[in-house]
Amino acid sequence: MPEPTPLRVLVADESLPNRRLIRELLTAFCACEVDDAASGEHAFERITQREYALFLVAFTLPDINGALLDRMIARVYSRCHPTILSAPPVIFLIRPDESAEFNAVKRDARVRGAVPLPLSLDVLMQVAGSLLPPKGPAL
């Protein structure tokens, strides 16, 4: 029986260390592959090319607000991937001063939570780990 295609996660954050840390943590504990983008433009381009099971998006990107990027993705995702009815869930990476702005968007059904920056690995695994299958034991 062929191996199932692993779920894909897209991480959009300007910080390369954050993107690397998220990739390492998720791929170590969850059955997924992680793509990353340093800007909103690059993230938007990636979603037109591949299907994703989860987005992790910094609330502030160098070229666009993360909440606005998420709304744009939600509008075009099913047009880019006709077999999928809606865009996948999103988790925001937020700085302490962005809490009020995050509260305004967290009521969206696709928003599954936030991970504080500087990166909290425990919170990341608590929020993202509940949306991704755990990695099976190595054979």
List pLDDT tens digits, range 21-63.
999 999 999 999 999 999 999 999 999 999 999 999 999 999 9
pLDDT band at 14 (very low <50, low <70, confident <90, very high): very high
Provide the pLDDT for residue 47.
97
Provide the pLDDT for residue 139.
52
Render pLDDT for 72-122 as a digit per residue (tens, 0 to 9). 999 999 999 999 999 999 999 999 999 999 999 999 999 999 999 999 999
Q: Coil, strand or helix: which one is 54?
A: strand
Buried b (16+ CB within 10 A) or exposed e, 70-95: bebbbeebeeebeeeeebbbbbbbbe
Residue 4 has pLDDT above 80, yes or no: no
Cβ 114 vs Cβ 102: under 8 Å: yes
Provide the pLDDT for residue 5.
74
Residue type, 71: R
Give the alpha-carbon dihedral of 22, 109, 42, 14, to 10 degrees: -40
Predicted TM-score (pTM) of this structure? 0.94
Cα–Cα dist 22/123, whole Å: 11
Cβ 30 vs Cβ 129: under 8 Å: yes
